[in-house]
Structure 1
Amino acid sequence: MRTALAIARKELSIYFTTPWAYAVFTAMLAIASFFFVGMLYEFQRAQEMARQFGWGNTPSQFRNLTDGVMVPFWSTVMIITLFVAPFLSMRLFAEEKRNKTFELLMTAPVRPIDIVLGKYLGGLGVITATLGLTILFPLLVSLFGQGESGSALEWTTVLLGYGALLLWGATCMAIGMFISALTESQMVAALLTFAVLLPWTMLRGLGQTTEEPVRSFINYLSFDAQLQSLLRGVLDLKAIVFFVSVIFFSLLLSHRTVEAQRWA
């Protein structure tokens, strides 16, 4: 495990000493801010309409900041992560192969499992830092939206939704690392990762056109369907087990790929 942690520190140092990670951080904040301000505006407009014409015709989600702003905002950040994660994971193995350092890594006295875990922990660190920036938005809402009744947000719901985002980011990085281990082109790795994640996320829409029990099976496999309950602040152990299983399977495939290339 010490070797894996050393590789993880090396990966993190590479991420944070190059402008690429900071470009991703800036893009994440800029895009998230754009949608966040739009959601606040819609919430404010719904509140004004409710005061004029009564609360009876106002959708329930616009009656508090948690359901009206933060829950849809987490869903939006989930989509942004779908685009961001492939560009963070693409370099994990592909860059080593392009720079011809992968062969040196394979001949070093390091086990493939340590290489895979180290690189994954490094990738996990940078995606956590990227998503960590989005916690600023509920903090701002809580700071400026606090009234006499206390906090403006239901923090249990907010934090569970944020935990779902971290779980989603960890899953994207695991899948992206496996695909990065298959190619020496970073751009190919990013595009293939996106090509895998996007339809996998959209499976729920496909399931609506099918009959039972196929519909339930497709919904179970859909990333979006699994995330929705967690993003709304509902603790769903089935969804957590699903994502942990995908991460484990992706790491196992990465290990097998690296091990096969070591003896090739």
Structure 2
Amino acid sequence: MRTALAIARKELSIYFTTPWAYAVFTAMLAISSFFFVSMLYEFQRAQEMARMFGWDSTRAEFRNLTDGVMVPFWSTVMIITLFVAPFLSMRLFAEEKRNKTFELLMTAPVRPLDIVLGKYLGGLGVISATLGLTILFPLMLTFLGQSDSGSALEWKTVLLGYGGLLLWGATCMAIGMFISALTESQMVAALLTFAVLLPWMLLRGLAQGTEEPVRSLLSYLSFDAQLQGMLRGVLDLKTLVFFLSVIFFSLVLSHRTVEAQRWA
């Protein structure tokens, strides 16, 4: 485990000593800020309409900041992460192969398992830092918002939604790392990762035209369907099992790929 942690520190140092990570951070903040301000504006408009016509004339989700702003905002950040994660995971193995340092790494007295775990922990660190920027928005609402109950946000719902985002980001990085281990082109790795994640996330919508039990199975396998509960503040053990299983099998596949290439 000590070797894996050393590799993770190396990966993090590479991320944070190059402009790429900071470009991703800036893009995440800029895009998230745009949608956050738009949702806050729509919420304020709904509040004004509600005061004019009464609460029954507007939708229930616009009655508080948590349901009216943060829940849809987490769903939007989930989609942004779908685009960001492939560009963070693409370099984990592909860059080593392009720079011809992968063969050197394979000849070092390091187990493939330590390499995979170390690189994944490094990727997990940078995606967590990226998503960590979005926690600034509920903090701003807490300090600047007002509520008759004394709390602008229901933090249990907010934190569960944020936990769902971290779980989603960890899953994206695991899948992206496996695909990165298959190619030496970073751009190919990013595009393939996106091509895998997007339809997998949209399985619930694609399943609507199918018959049972295929419809239920595809809906269960959809990332979007699995995440919706946590994004709304509902913790379901099945969701944790599903995402942890996807992460585990992605790491196993990455390990098998690296081990096979070691003896190739």
TM-score (norm 2): 0.99
- Rounded to whole Å, the distance in 1 between the matches of 2:210 and 2:38 is 35
In structure 2, give the amino acid aligned to 1:20: W
Structure 1 residue 208: deviation in Å?
A: 1.3
- Rounded to whole Å, the distance in 2 between the matches of 1:253 and 1:214 is 26
1:199 corresponds to 2:199 = yes
Superposed CA offset, 1:83-124 (max 9, x none): 000000000000000000000000000000000000000000
1:255 corresponds to which residue?
255
Structure 1 residue 21: deviation in Å?
A: 0.1
Structure 1 residue 73: deviation in Å?
A: 0.1
Structure 1 residue 259: deviation in Å?
A: 0.0
- Rounded to whole Å, the distance in 2 between the matches of 1:210 and 1:72 is 28
Superposed CA offset, 1:100-153 (max 9, x none): 000000000000000000000000000000000000000000110034531100
Q: Gaps spanning 5+ residues in structure 1: where?
A: none
In structure 2, give the amino acid aligned to 1:239: T
1:123 corresponds to 2:123 = yes
TM-score (norm 1): 0.99
1:244 corresponds to which residue?
244
1:13-162 pair list within 5 angstroms: 13-147=13-147, 149-162=149-162
- Rounded to whole Å, the distance in 2 between the matches of 1:171 and 1:106 is 25
Give % identity: 88
- Rounded to whole Å, the distance in 2 between the matches of 1:234 and 1:148 is 24
- Rounded to whole Å, the distance in 2 between the matches of 1:157 and 1:15 is 31
Superposed CA offset, 1:132-183 (max 9, x none): 0000000000110034531100000000000000000000000000000000
- Rounded to whole Å, the distance in 2 between the matches of 1:81 and 1:151 is 28
- Rounded to whole Å, the distance in 2 between the matches of 1:53 and 1:231 is 30
1:208 corresponds to 2:211 = no
Q: Secondary structure at the match of 1:208?
A: helix
Q: Gaps spanning 5+ residues in structure 2: where?
A: none
Q: Secondary structure at the match of 1:171?
A: helix
- Rounded to whole Å, the distance in 1 between the matches of 2:34 and 2:148 is 29
Structure 1 residue 72: deviation in Å?
A: 0.2
Q: CA RMSD in A?
A: 0.6
- Rounded to whole Å, the distance in 2 between the matches of 1:148 and 1:60 is 17
- Rounded to whole Å, the distance in 2 between the matches of 1:231 and 1:136 is 17
